[in-house]
Structure formats: structure tokens, C-alpha cells
Structure 1
């Protein structure tokens, strides 16, 4: 009896450590990202073209760096040490930005550290999946609760970021981010478990093992799911970039409304993530994906045809259902399709979102200048429809549908 009680207590400590680690690393990212353009513009004194160049190179470097670390992590090494290494790179990145105002150093050394630190969150999710399987937990529910911590971090992080930067300066803000990475390293080193990699135990046959290990570009399910992810997240990122301008310049609604809309959607997303996790056993991930994308279609149709403040507020329910479900279930979907490569699976989902940020930035700037802000939402609607088609092409196999 005492052994069982001790085991449950240990599991509770590990679970709490996962929650705290995810939240702290999320806070570190949410401190740095929102004020980066302001930092480059007013502290480094560069023009908008160099700001855009920095964002593009930083995003591309993050995609490459996190993918290389993911491949390494799936083949060898304790995943905890990789998370600690990523946090250490986050510390180096924060120190670089805190004390350097030279653009060349930031876009080379700073971007290198940022690229290596960007793998921290995908590695935490990969470790959480492996631990959940080993300990017999409900994998999707476990992931849902942990994923919600990341969303919660982005509720609190941006206001804190602006508050620190504007009140105390960017050096204090980046040193605060550094302290977050140090705290995360402590929790990973002391409380998170080492999980022996035994991915083949999750496969029912040699055919499953062969299918899981084929090159990514030859895996139709992965390619289709990745394209579906890129299209849906590009639509979402275009909305996030354009909506404040659309509300102000086209609809002539209050300046404070965009913040209210984003905050409302973020607040609804957290319970949506948790509820979606518990609905997976009965509905399946594939069906939940379809429901989410249909909510996305309703949301963008509404954005095109409804222009009142009340309508925009109501539409955030569909926006939250869309993003809340795919943000939670998406990473599990990739992991189920690549059960022998948890790190690569988690990173593919994350990199799909990062690539969408790049694509959305380019499209939003070009389309809004050439055709007006209204066209953004027609393009977003088409992208979500295309995402639905690619999602339908993903085979509903044993691992992918449960």
C-alpha cells in the first residue's frame, strides 16, 4: 500500500513539474517575441526592412535548428539533457539581447542561440508523450493539460513583456526571460523523468514499424497533415496580423476591440483544449480535426459578412474552437503517425506553425496593399477549405484515428 501511495505521489510531482516547466518556458518565449520588433526598431535603430529580414532569418533558423535536434533526440541521448541544453541556449540568447545592440551580432549569434533554444518546447512535449505512455496515463488528456499551460503563458507573457520593456527597459526584460530559462532548467534536471526509448513496443506489426520509419517526404499521411497544418495556421496568422488594422481602418470600430477579441479567444481556447482532450476516445482525433476546421470555415465566413462589434465577439467562439482543438490535438496526431520519432513529430507540428508565420507575413503585406484588407479573409477562407481537403487525405489508420 505504501509503495502504491509513493508511486502516485511521485507521479503527481512529475505531472506538476511538466506543468511548471511548460508554463515557465512558455513565459520565457512570451516575454521575448511580442516586443522583438520594437526592440529592433527603437533600441537597435534599424529600418522596417531589416526588422522583416531578422524575423525571416530567425524563423528559418528555428525550423532548421529544432529539426536537427529532434532527429538527434529520437536516435540517442536523454531527452531531459536536450531540454536543458535548449534552455541553456535560451539563457545565452537572452544575455546576448540584453547587452548587445549591434544588428550583425544579433542576427548571427543571437539567431543561432534562438534557433537551438526553440527546440525546448517540442522536446518537452515529446518527453511528456513518452512518459504518459510508460506510466499508463491518458496520453491525450495528459497532453491537453500540459498544452493549456503554454496557452496560459501567452495570456500573461505579452502584457508582462511590454510592462517590463516600457517601464524598466529591454535589458531588464531580457534578463527576466533569462531567469525563466534558468528556473526551467532546474525543474527539468531535478523533477522530470528519464524515459527509456522503446517506440517499437507501440507498434502492432513489422509493417507498422516499416511505415513509421519511411522517409518523411514519402509518408503521404505526414505530408498531407503537414500541409493541412500549414494552410490552417497561415490563415490564423494572417488574421492575427491583419485584424487590428481591419477593425480600425475598414470597420472603424474602437481601438481597444482587437485586444478584447484576442483575449476573449485565448480565454475560450484553454477550456476547449481540455475538453477536446477528453473527447478524443469517443470522437477520435480525425473527427475532431474535421469539427475544428469546419468551425474555422464558419469563423472566416463570419469575418467576411458580419462587421458589427457584437458579431465579431460572437465569432470568437468559433475561432477558439478552431485553434483550441488543432493546437491541442495536432501534435498528438503527428506523434501517432510517427510513433518511433516523437521528437521529429512534435517538431514538425511546431515548424509547420513557424513556417506559417513567415508565409502569413508575406501574404498579408502584399494582399492588403494590393487588394485591401477585406481580401485577406477571403484568402484565409480558401486556405481553411484547402486544409480540410488535405486533412481528408490522411488515412484513418489504427493509430491516427483513436
Structure 2
């Protein structure tokens, strides 16, 4: 298969998998309330249990795929599970049944994007292709929530579930296309020789340092997104619309930033790119703690876009380099986002309790980003092979 059609097939799969969860995740709390009469407390514990099951599935299913050396058949299984999930959620009005479906069907189905990222790395793709695929998923997340909202507003709550099932069927078709391409032997040589571990060998200690660093980086992003509206309205005294504009500008800039990061990854080491992202993050958080008006608020989103593009795209490629199994690497990376979301709660609580108000959250995030940068630098030094002594006999 020529390179361009093959790339189009991979990009289509990334777009559809991104849309699948961009439809479900933002709508899930609404569906729990409107379709199953869940109380606020029930919504909280259902989401907590669902995310916990997703955490476990994101470790187990990719590890199973690693052992088999096959990511596409499990990917197709995830698509089928999503169709079943949408059917059960649409057919039932009982909250316990919906919760059981989310745990048994939804949690493993949510691993689809992780497997999609693991497959090209296993097939020999470079970091630039991984980052480009991540950019397509980001585009889906920009478009997905507004489309889901439009469906709910015009066709009712269950319309999201119908759309979810349709997209899952399309995901199954793209997976079959990827399988057909692989069966024709176009990727056989790459599959027999996975991408080389570029750079110095990586120790287990370095992997731990990288994981902790990215949990901190993900926590900072989750924290500032959560408090942006409160920061804009209460600390800056601006209309709430400015918070939406700022987040929208950042999301819009994220896609070209990811594409740029992918191009740079062909020539610049991934750890060096992560350092530039951390420096941009520190500059962004410090400036946001001191910002005083809407123009500066919007201009600073350029820094935020580069920071998150590096964390989201180059970070994924970095994990796939330092962890030798692509599925486990992608699963670990995905779970740094989940754990970072949990850590963001204390970050917000501590940061907002000081004299800076919600600006203190940005200040605390600057400190966490400096810590993450130090851990990444330490990981780079830890991963260097020891010098080999030489002598003459």
C-alpha cells in the first residue's frame, strides 16, 4: 500500500477513536443523571469506579497485547465492546445495569486509543508518526464535545449513544482495514524489527523518574484547566466568556504545536523537546499568576499550547522509547493522565488557599513543573551507560 493511503487509514482510525471517547466522556455524567436518575453523589462514585476500572484495564489489556505481539485484534475487540456498551446503555433505565456495563464493557473499550498508539510503534514507526497520530486524536477532542452537545440539544440524550455506536462500527471497519494491510505483508518487515531504542539504554530507575515527572506535568494541566473559569472571573474580574476563549485558543493551537513537535522529533532528541516544553510550562504558569488582562491571557496560551503538545505528543513517544513494550508504554503514559487528575485535587486545594487566590494554583504548578524538569534531567543522566574501562595487557 502506498505511503499516503496507509497514512490516511491510520489518521482516519485516530480521528474515529478520538471521536468515540470525545462523545462519551464529556456526556457520561449527563447521561447518568438524565437516563438513570443518578444523584450527584451517585454520579461521583460511578465515575470514580469507572475510572478506576479504566486504570486497571489500561495496564492489563496492552500488556496482554504485548505478549501476543498483536494490537489490532484487541483494538477490534474494543470497538465491539463499545457497540455493546452503547446498546446496553440505550436499552436500560436501571442505574446498576448501566454501572455494570461501564465496568465490564466500557473500561476495556476505553483502551482502544492506547492500543492504536502502540501498534505503529510496534510496526517500526518513528516518534514523528506517533506524535502526528496524537495530533489527530486532539483534533477529534476539539470537535467531539460540541457535536455531542448539539446531538443532545436537537435529538435528545440517547442520540449520543447512537452516535457512539455508529462511530464504534466505523472504528471496527478501520481496524479491519489495518488488519488487511498487515496481512498483505506491507508492514511485515517493520513488525519483525521493531523500532530501535534510540539513545542511551534506559534503566528502571530512569523509567520511574519519567513516570513521576509526567504525573506531575499532567497534574498541573488538569489543575489549571479546572480553575480557569474561577481564576478569570474571581481573580481577574473578567466575564466568564474569556475563560472559554482562553481554553479554546489553547486547544486550537495545540494541534499545530503537535505537528511541529512531530517534525522536530525527527532531528531533536525527545528529552530535549520535553525540556523545552517544561520551560514553556514554567514561563506560562509564572506569567499567569501575574497576568492582569484579557490580551495577555490569550497571548500566553501560545506557551500553554507548546507545553501541552510536548507533554501529550512527545511524552507519549518518550514513554514508548524508555519502556520496551509498546502496549505497556502507552498504558503507563495514559495512566499518568488519570493519576495526574487525582493529584490535581490537592494541588488546587493548596494553591488556592494562599494570598494569591486561584493565581496561587498557577504558582504552585510552576513549582511542580520545575520539579518535573529536574526529574527528567536526572532520568537522562541515570540512563547513560557507565564508562567502560580500557587497558592494555
TM-score (norm 1): 0.86
Is the CA contact (8 Å cut-off) linking 1:87 and 1:120 kept in structure 2? Answer: yes
Pair 1:220 & 2:205 matched:
yes
- 1:44-65 per-residue CA deviation (whole Å, 9 max, x = no partner) reads 3333222222222221111101
Match of 2:322 in 1: 337
Match of 2:389 in 1: none
Out of 228, 235, 260, the position equivalent to 1:243 is 228
- The 2-side partners of 1:250 and 1:35 are apart by 29
Which SS does the other structure have where 1:101 is aligned? coil
Pair 1:175 & 2:159 matched:
no
Query: Is 195-204 or 104-113 further displaced after alignment?
Result: 195-204
Is the CA contact (8 Å cut-off) linking 1:94 and 1:175 kept in structure 2? Answer: yes
- The 2-side partners of 1:398 and 1:89 are apart by 43
Q: Which runs of 5+ in 2 are unaligned?
A: 386-393
Pair 1:21 & 2:13 matched:
yes
Out of 231, 248, 262, the position equivalent to 1:277 is 262
- Give the direction of change, closer, same or farther, for the CA distance of 1:255–1:99 in structure 2 (3 Å limit): farther
Match of 2:90 in 1: 98
Match of 2:300 in 1: 315
After TM superposition, give the deviation of residue 87 of structure 1 in Å.
Answer: 1.2
After TM superposition, give the deviation of residue 12 of structure 1 in Å.
Answer: 2.5
Which SS does the other structure have where 1:252 is aligned? coil
- 1:239-287 per-residue CA deviation (whole Å, 9 max, x = no partner) reads 1111112212332212211221111111111111111112124321111
Match of 2:367 in 1: 382
Poorly superposed stretches of 4+, deviation over 6 Å: none
- The 2-side partners of 1:29 and 1:174 are apart by 11
- The 1-side partners of 2:247 and 2:82 are apart by 27
- The 2-side partners of 1:224 and 1:398 are apart by 14
Out of 153, 166, 179, the position equivalent to 1:166 is 153
Out of 119, 130, 138, the position equivalent to 1:143 is 130
Is the CA contact (8 Å cut-off) linking 1:98 and 1:170 kept in structure 2? Answer: no
After TM superposition, give the deviation of residue 176 of structure 1 in Å.
Answer: 0.3
After TM superposition, give the deviation of residue 124 of structure 1 in Å.
Answer: 0.7
Is the CA contact (8 Å cut-off) linking 1:268 and 1:320 kept in structure 2? Answer: yes
Query: Is 279-288 or 22-31 further displaced after alignment?
Result: 279-288
Match of 1:216 in 2: none
Pair 1:52 & 2:44 matched:
yes
Corresponding residue pairs, total: 375
Q: Which runs of 5+ in 1 are unaligned?
A: 1-6, 134-138, 213-218
Is the CA contact (8 Å cut-off) linking 2:122 and 2:195 kept in structure 1? Answer: no
- The 1-side partners of 2:349 and 2:91 are apart by 32
